[in-house]
Every structure is written in C-alpha cells, then in structure tokens.
Structure 1
Amino acid sequence: MPIAAGQLAPDFTLPTDTGDTLTLSSLRGQWVVLYGYPKDDTSGCTTQACEFRDLFPRFDQKKAVILGISPDSVKSHVKFKTKYELPFTLVADEEKVALQAYDIWKEKSMYGKKYMGVERTTFVIDPKGQIVKVFEKVKPAGHAEEVMAVIR
C-alpha cells in the first residue's frame, strides 16, 4: 500500500554510515527528509546526493535532518559519503525492511529485464513524525531545491 501525505512515517531502526544505528522516531521534533535511492556512486544517485550536500547549510538552518536510504551496505555508504563529502547520514537497509515499509522496493524493468530495486522517492516528515509530502519517481537534478521549498 503506497505511503501518502498525512500518514505517520513508518518507524525503523537501521545501521548508518557512522556504524551506529538510527531509529527514525528518535528524530521527532525535527523535520526529516528521507530519500530512497537505488545505488551508491551511480550517476543519478550521485547527482541527487551532491545537490542535497550543496543545499545542506539551508536544510541545517531549518533544523532539517537529511537521510539517504538504499539497500547498499554500511561499507559502501562510507565510501560514497567520503568520496563526495556528504554531510548527512546514509542508512543501510540491506534487508529492505524500511524500503518495503515505505513501499519503494519495487519491480523495475530495464531493457526488457525485470528486477527488484528502489524507486527513487523522497518523503518529507514533519516534527510530529507525519509525512507531509511524497515525491515519487524523482528526477535527481533540481530535486533538493523542490524539497527545500516544502520545508521553507
């Protein structure tokens, strides 16, 4: 069932690039941008991550937490974060627990081959833990600015 604005954000506890675990509900009281992306260090995902990096000071001013989530490992996230100097947290969901809870682990198709993967989606979560905006089938270029407009 697709997640929609107005719903409480499904909670999760998962490992991050710092080696710690993060529980989403522990961020109540702050805006949270949870963006699901397919794979570390691929062109679209890099574009998207770098745009969030470049606008990070503006999100930080609004006390908004940015979380990138993908099925990549913690080790992969550390490499990606270091390479592009990403100032926000990357969450590793190798078991696809949160990706499935948010209904973004989907059957995809490329060159006629079907496979499972992350549908690039961003959830803007308000300080009460409620989803206020869902961006589906996100185009990476210019996306961070769209998200900033919602928080502003």
Structure 2
Amino acid sequence: MILLNTNFNLPSTSGKNVSLDDYKGKYLVLYFYPKDNTSGCTLEANQFSENYSEFKKAGAEIVGISKDSIASHNRFKEKENIPFELLSDTEREVHNNFEVLKPAKMYGKDVIKTVRSTFIFDKEGNLIKEYRDVKARDHALEVLEFIKSL
C-alpha cells in the first residue's frame, strides 16, 4: 500500500470544495466508482445509503467520488436519495493519486476505466485500509463490518 498523496481538494455536491482534513475526527470511507446512474454504481450507492445511519453511529462518514460532473452527481443524489457527499474529479488527478484508473477495452475501443475501490481513513486522516477492484454487491456491508471493528 504505497500512495504518494492521499489528500484531495475537490468540488462536492454540498457546493463547497472538500479535503481530507474536513473529515478529521471521524473515520472516512472514500469510495471510487465508475459512473453515476449505472447499475453497479447505483447498487453500491444504495447499499451505502441504506446503511448510512450505521456508519454514522460507528463514527464514520462516507464520500463517493467519480469522474462525473457535479451536475451529474446532483441528479444522481436526488434520484437515489443519497445522503452523503459525492465529489467530482473530472481532471482525474485524485483518481491518479489513488491509482484507481486502468486501461481497458469497451466495445473494441481503448478506454481508461475507474477500478471500483474504497479507502478507509482513521480519525487523524491516516489511510488504514484499502479495498481494490471490488464488486458492488454487498461491498458496503463488508466496509461497515470493518468500521464497526475499529
């Protein structure tokens, strides 16, 4: 687990830019997902949403991040009633820092794909756990169990 720069400063659906420091004093679940309003990403967001109160009780905050725009995120949040912030990384800088991009083929074309990944930070902002290339189904429950074990 070698990450050169885990800090971030990105626009959020709150209308403000947020950074890792904004979450000090809480555990932070930072999850990267490929695209708003797609089946796997909707499933994952819904499972994090359904368990949001349990994460909060355990002292954790959840933040989703993708390459989509804030306008897209706001539509996704409203449609799916997502209670936590979504961050927009259209320049892919934070995606690159966390090494969650990989080349892939889609419909015969070369593309750069987001690898569904989750990073857990402790209350001081230190990275303590990472999940890479996860499946959307039940991933939120696995993360919740880890948070509850802290």
Q: Same fold by TM-score, threshold 0.5 exceeded?
A: yes
SS state at 2:120 partner? strand
Per the alignment, residue 87 of structure 2 pairs with 91
Paired position in structure 2 for 1:28:
24
| Range with bigger deviation, 129-138 or 32-41 | 129-138
Q: In the alignment, which of 105, 116, 121 is matched to residue 120 of structure 1? A: 116
Q: How far apart, in 2, do the equivalents of 1:86 and 1:94 lie?
A: 20
| Alignment partner, residue 73 of structure 1 | 69
Alpha-carbon distance, 1:143 to partner: 0.5
Taking only the aligned residue pairs, the percentage that are identical comes to: 39
Pick one of 37, 54, 59 that aligns with 2:55: 59
Aligned length: 148
Asked whether the equivalents of residues 16 and 92 of structure 1 are also in contact (C-alpha less than 8 Å), the reply is yes
How far 1:46 sits from its partner (Å)? Answer: 0.2
SS at match of 2:64: strand
Instruction: Give the structure-2-normalised TM-score.
Output: 0.93
Greater shift, 109-118 or 70-79, is seen at 109-118
Deviation string 1:72-97 (CA, Å, 9 cap, x unpaired) is 00000000000000000000011111
Distance of 2:102 and 2:133 partners within structure 1: 12
Q: Deviations over 1:64-123 (max 9, x none)?
A: 110000000000000000000000000001111111110112212235432112110000
Q: C-alpha distance in 2, partners of 1:109/1:136? A: 19
Aligned to 2:13: 17
**Structure 2 gap ranges (5+):** none
**Residue 46 of structure 2 is aligned to residue 50 of structure 1:** yes
TM-score with structure 1 setting the length: 0.92
Residues 2-41 of structure 1: per-residue CA shift (max 9 Å, x gap) = xx28x68611111001211101122112100000000000
- Asked if the contact 2:41–2:136 (Cα under 8 Å) also holds between the matched residues in 1, the reply is yes
Matched, 1:146 2:136: no
Runs of 4+ residues over 4 Å off in structure 1: none
Partner of 1:110: 106
Question: RMSD of the TM alignment (CA)?
Answer: 1.5
Secondary structure (helix, strand or coil) at the match of 1:68 reads: strand
- Counterpart CA distance in 2 for 1:115 and 1:28 is 35
